[in-house]
Amino acid sequence: MYRGIQNPRETLLIYTYQNSRPRMMQRLDERILELCRKAVATPASPELEEILEELRQALHEHVERLRKMVAHYPTRPERRKPKKD
């Protein structure tokens, strides 16, 4: 599954990290869906503005989590040679 990782401790850390994410992301996804439902069902009012602000913050948090996931995603070096013009 993880080519190039031979240290058992490192494998365990990556496995733990990857398996702990979905629950956190799932809760945030559920919160975003609930806020979307509330926003659609709420007429224009100060309450709607509060819901939209919560939604904006939840979406921002989601984007930040995705950025962190991508930053820690294991990559392989490019094996192809660059083209010469």
Tens digit of each residue's pLDDT (9 = 90 or more) over 8-65: 655 555 555 455 556 667 799 999 999 999 999 999 999 999 999 999 999 999 999 8
> In terms of C-beta distances under 8 Å and separation of at least 24 residues, what long-range contacts does 4-7 make, across chains too?
4/76, 5/74
Predicted TM-score (pTM) of this structure = 0.59
Side-chain-side CA neighbours of 20 within 13 Å: the count stands at 8
- Position 1 scores a pLDDT of 41
- Position 11 scores a pLDDT of 59
In one-letter notation, the amino acid at residue 18 is: Q
